[in-house]
Chains A and B, each alone.
Chain A
Amino acid sequence: MDALIERYPTKASALMPCIWVVMDEVGYVPSDAVDLLVEKLEVSRARVYELLSFYTMFRTEPQAEHTLQVCHNISCHIMGARPLIAHIEKRLGIRLGKRTPDNMFALEGVECIGACGMGPCLQLGKHLYEDLTNEKMDVILDSLRKGIVPRADTDRLTVEGGA
């Protein structure tokens, strides 16, 4: 954090990257981390919480082991995001927006994540899975249950007129 604060022109402007440091370390921003941010960046607690509530990727509660974020915006919708979500709901026995009782999976619908050409798609942390089918989704879920994050078979779309 100190290195970040050094680079940014004002302490307060380093707030977002410092919150990311906490997110990457802990997985969410606990209240004692808020205390630390307040002290280090000389901002009010209200300002920190303002950011934590405004930006959807910042979380203030412990997260499930795997948060499955399925895009449900227009391009993915056209390519079958809803049936895919229904399939995951059935497989995990939970509804969209909930998590499994063992805290293994949370299922979230998210807005466009920039993978429109190969929808439907799933974001899992820094991994992006594209061109999904129910079968591919099952492979991902089974793999995660075994503790393996499958390789993201991401992007490499057709560029310039054809495969």
Chain B
Amino acid sequence: MSLEQYKILSSRFGRDDGHKLSVYEAEGGYTALKKVMSTMKPGDVIEEVKESGLRGRGGAGFPTGVKWGFVPKDAAQVYFMVNADESEPGTFKDRYLMDYDPHQTIEGTIISCFAVNSSLAFIYIRGEFGWLVDRVQTAVDEAYAAGYLGKNILGSGFDLEVIVHKGAGAYICGEETGLINSVEGLKGQPSIKPPFPAIEGFLKQPTVVNNVESVAAVPWIINNGAAAYKNIGSEKSAGTKLFSVSGPIKNPGVYEIPLGMPFSEFFNDHLGGMVEGETLKAVIVGGSSVPILTAEEAMQVNLDYESLDEVGTFLGSGGMIIIPESSDMVELIQVLMHFYFDESCGQCTPCREGTGWLHQIIKKMRHGEGTADDLDLIEHVCQGMAGLTICALSDAAVMPMRSFIEKFRPEFEALIQETAPAGNASLWPRGE
């Protein structure tokens, strides 16, 4: 299957001039905004997006239009936040959207704000993407100059200010309440839900937080209609999805595919298979937080929400990590547990302590000091973490931890049975 006809979000990817307003306009940019401003009411936009079946592309997969519908209609002030804090390991798709096509996201933001009646939006970009902050800010400035932002947009009476907000290095700010707190000038620690942000968020006002990719899909849906969008993909997973694919494959990169494509087709026809000398061992389909699939499992699944749910994993962010046979799974899980330990915001005890425990136990095993009951201890720690915290970071550590042991248990057992560190055969000397 050629992917050419599915370029809804990625038509300007890889080009040198796609970020410019003149190019975006010449290729039909801002026509959706004009259509909305001249012919639609906020409720119409919400209905159209609901009808399209668009689901949140940041990871949770919550229907975007439904989320918008939660905002009280009589609210005096609504805030809108574009979540561009892309930090899920393996994910680098939003970077492409902002780098190659910032105006698509800005147009989507304006339409989304119109739908929920917001007059102030923030685009929260992770601090590490310093050059993208500049790129998006330049595009925002262009949009102001062209009258797409500011007061009385296109003569409609609708006002919108957009602030590009730069993060400063905290994975947890990708969680929507963490992100809101961060913009308030606080530590980016998540808040308990309910109240949900759509009712009470930024400065205690209704606030909608949407991922860049969700927002970027809105102009196409408005231009082409909900039915056209729903026509792409599978029954419960409408539209296209960006997958950012990493690992020792022939063609790593960002791909836009219709949801529902079999992994095997994606892997063989588009990713080009493994590089010479490597074979496929496992796949993490949606960012490091989702349960891992063995190569055999991956080859049977379709890439959509419901198929991945069925095999016990998630579509997540679309950050696909391809793991070769040569990888030491205990080593990889140590890398991940170090990450979650590092990024736990420290607010909830099960997460703060649990991520540290998991990291310590794995580290101990890799120092050649593992004991027979360590795997039971890991499970015990996981039970004390899963579902018991304010946000999902704790679960995000537990899911890979459990699935790595479940699917690659012999590797953990072999390491425990060794009495001394096994030299430097692995990428990462075990004594570290």
Contact = CB atoms under 8 A, between A and B. Distances in A.
A159 B13 contact: yes
B185 A160 contact: no
A159 B128 contact: no
Interface in A25-68: 41, 43, 47, 50-51, 54-58
11 contacts: A9-B120, A10-B184, A74-B335, A77-B331, A78-B327, A114-B128, A117-B244, A117-B246, A118-B252, A160-B3, A160-B4
Contacts of B4: 160
Contact of A114 (B95, B186, B188): B95
A58 B185 contact: no
Contact of A54 (B91, B188, B342): B188
Interface stretch (B144-152, B317-325, B364-372): B317-325
B332 A159 contact: no
Contacts of B3: 160-161
Given A50-B187, A116-B91, A10 B203 contact: yes
Contacts of B68: none
A141 interface: no
A113 interface: yes
Interface of A: 7-10, 12-17, 19-20, 41, 43, 47, 50-51, 54-58, 72-75, 77-80, 82-83, 110-119, 123, 125-128, 154-163
B130 A125 contact: yes
Interface in B7-46: 7, 10, 13-14
B185 A77 contact: no
A57 B125 CA distance: 13
B343 A111 contact: yes
Contacts of B319: 116
A10 B122 CA distance: 14
A157 B343 contact: no
A9 B203 contact: yes
B185 A55 contact: no
Interface stretch (B107-115, B158-166, B193-201): B158-166
Given A12-B185, A51-B185, A111-B342, A56 B92 contact: no
Contacts of B169: 55-58
A43 B221 CA distance: 43
B99 interface: yes
A8 B163 contact: yes
B322 to A, nearest CB: 8
B223 to A, nearest CB: 21
Contacts of B236: none
A116 B244 contact: yes
A153 B280 CA distance: 29
A111 B324 contact: no
Contact of A20 (B14, B168, B248): B168
Contacts of A47: 185-186
Contact of B332 (A78, A118, A156): A78
A10 B120 CA distance: 13
A113 B86 CA distance: 9
Contact of A79 (B88, B163, B245, B247): B247
Interface residues of B, number: 74
A162 B339 CA distance: 31
B61 interface: no
Given A112-B339, A114-B129, A16 B166 contact: yes
Contacts of A7: 161, 163
Given A55-B127, A159-B10, A160-B13, 7 more contacts: A10-B203, A77-B331, A116-B90, A118-B252, A159-B254, A160-B3, A162-B270
A83 to B, nearest CB: 7
B251 interface: yes
Nearest to A86: B429
A111 B429 CA distance: 19
B269 interface: yes
A156 B99 CA distance: 10
Cβ-closest 10 pairs across A and B: A55-B168, A15-B185, A116-B246, A57-B169, A56-B169, A126-B130, A75-B246, A157-B253, A117-B252, A112-B89
Contact of A57 (B127, B134, B163, B184): B127
Nearest to A77: B335
A110 B254 CA distance: 22
Contacts of B128: 57, 110, 113-114, 123
B88 A112 contact: yes
Contacts of B120: 9
Contacts of B183: 13, 16
B254 A117 contact: yes
B92 A114 contact: yes
Contacts of B248: 78-79
B428 interface: yes
A142 to B, nearest CB: 23
A8 to B, nearest CB: 7
A4 to B, nearest CB: 9
Given A157-B253, A159-B254, A73 B7 contact: no
Contacts of B91: 112, 114, 116
Contacts of A73: 89, 288, 335-336, 339
Contact of B321 (A10, A116, A118, A159): A116
